A and B are shown apart, each in its own frame.
Chain A
Amino acid sequence: MKILIADDEALSRRLLEKTRDRAGYEVIAVENGKQALEQLCKPNGPRLALLDWIMPELDGPGVCRAVRTRTEQPYAYMVLLTSKGSKEETVLGLESGADDYLAKPFNAEELRARLRVGERILLLEDRLVEARENMRFRATHDQLPSLLNRGAVMDLLVRELHRSHREQKSTAILLGDVDHFKRVNDTLGHVVGDEVLIEIAGRLLKSVRSCGFVGRYGGEEFLVVLSNLQSILRARASGRDSQVHLESSSTNR
């Protein structure tokens, strides 16, 4: 795991850098608060940080405050290091957004234990994000792989219509179903029926490419939205295109 060490005093910085490196961390050491903030705001930057309180450019609490204003990036667990010891300062440090507070000179065992607490919190966040992403995928996708479900495709359609209205562009909406699909299910079974739907969905996605999106509207009904078209004519051409693909698919089977 990456860890950021920010301390303007060379000896303390080297001591922390070396001991954390030996403890198996990937250490990034910087000598002021501004550099610390830059590192913490980088994509894939360190998420665990030991920050000295008093530093040039930007102090430890200043770094904490700035980091807490970012919202898109994953959580950073920040520990303030300081020789300050009063209750008021502890409160000020934690209020600035620090997760923990460690007095210098630190005790080796205590430092190890407190960093483990930080890692636990970060692991917890990772699990929550992963669970949320799984739920998001399941809530917006059909049982058929890589296809949007009705709710998701309708949401996208509304957004797309607003956008094309605003930008004075045209949007094409194609609603199609598969003829005689019931016969496939009745004669070959639902497993084959699903295979047919997957094949059709795949061909639709391929012909739409990045020009729009495809969702499953109902049982064998598909909704295709084509955006940013130069003209309705092109939309018609694309529509015929899809039809041609699908016709060739049915003759191949």
Chain B
Amino acid sequence: MDEFLSRVDNDQVLLRELLTIFKEDFPRTMQSLEIAVTALDLKSCARLSHTLKGMLSSLGAIRAAAASAKLEALSSAGETASLQSALKALESEAESLLPELDAYVTGVQR
């Protein structure tokens, strides 16, 4: 997270703007990903998990980004059997992420 703060040049306005984008784009992309995993649409799985990896790593959410990277790798390799469990792992990382990010922004503002 400190790395992230240096990346936004300690700009709280930008930090909040990025968080707004995240709160909009992340659930939407996750939803599409869930559909793609259920449909075993490997191409979409790879593309969507790549997008998630990008936004998560930009935010400095390293563990969730790693979970997306795993899902992307499995999709590209065609490992359909492991997709569901990888998605579950990403979802559980994502669950704790939003409260963490909110707490972080509040912490910075203080």
Number of interchain pairs (Cβ within 8 Å):
62
CA distance A158 to B36 in the complex (A): 68
CA distance A121 to B110 in the complex (A): 43
CA distance A9 to B65 in the complex (A): 14
Q: Which residue of B lies closest to A56 (CB)?
A: B47
**Cβ–Cβ contact B8 & A15, under 8 A:** yes
Say if the beta carbon of A237 comes within 8 Å of chain B.
no
In the assembled complex, which residues on chain B have CB atoms less than 8 Å from the CB atom of A83?
50, 53-54, 57, 69
Q: Which residues of A contact B (CB under 8 A)?
A: 7-12, 14-15, 18-19, 22, 52, 54, 83, 104-108
**Cβ–Cβ contact B57 & A105, under 8 A:** yes
**Cβ–Cβ contact A11 & B21, under 8 A:** yes
**Cβ–Cβ contact B7 & A11, under 8 A:** no
Q: Which 6 A-B pairs have the closest CB atoms?
A: A105-B57, A9-B54, A11-B55, A12-B58, A11-B21, A108-B7
The verdict on A19 contacting B7 (CB below 8 Å), with A11-B55, A83-B69, A105-B57 known, is: yes
Q: Which stretch (B10-18, B37-45, B77-85, B88-96) binds chain A? A: B10-18
**Cβ–Cβ contact B54 & A14, under 8 A:** no
In the assembled complex, which residues on chain B have CB atoms less than 8 Å from the CB atom of A10?
21, 25, 55
CA distance A8 to B50 in the complex (A): 11
The verdict on A105 contacting B9 (CB below 8 Å), with A8-B51, A11-B59, A15-B18 known, is: no
Q: Which residue of A lies closest to B68 (CB)?
A: A83
CA distance A22 to B8 in the complex (A): 10
CA distance A146 to B53 in the complex (A): 60
Q: Which residue of B lies closest to A106 (CB)?
A: B7
**Cβ–Cβ contact A18 & B11, under 8 A:** yes
In the assembled complex, which residues on chain A have CB atoms less than 8 Å from the CB atom of B51?
8-9
CA distance A54 to B50 in the complex (A): 9
Interface pairs (6), CB distance under 8 Å: A18-B8, A18-B14, A19-B8, A19-B9, A105-B7, A108-B9
In the assembled complex, which residues on chain A have CB atoms less than 8 Å from the CB atom of B55?
9-12
Q: Which residue of B lies closest to A84 (CB)?
A: B50
The verdict on A104 contacting B58 (CB below 8 Å), with A9-B51, A22-B9 known, is: yes
CA distance A106 to B60 in the complex (A): 10
CA distance A18 to B55 in the complex (A): 15
The verdict on A11 contacting B69 (CB below 8 Å), with A19-B8, A83-B53 known, is: no
CA distance A83 to B65 in the complex (A): 11
In the assembled complex, which residues on chain A have CB atoms less than 8 Å from the CB atom of B57?
83, 104-105
CA distance A15 to B21 in the complex (A): 11
CA distance A11 to B18 in the complex (A): 6
In the assembled complex, which residues on chain A have CB atoms less than 8 Å from the CB atom of B17?
14, 18
In the assembled complex, which residues on chain A have CB atoms less than 8 Å from the CB atom of B69?
83
Write the B27-41 contact mask toward A (1 if CB under 8 angstroms, else 0): 000000000000000
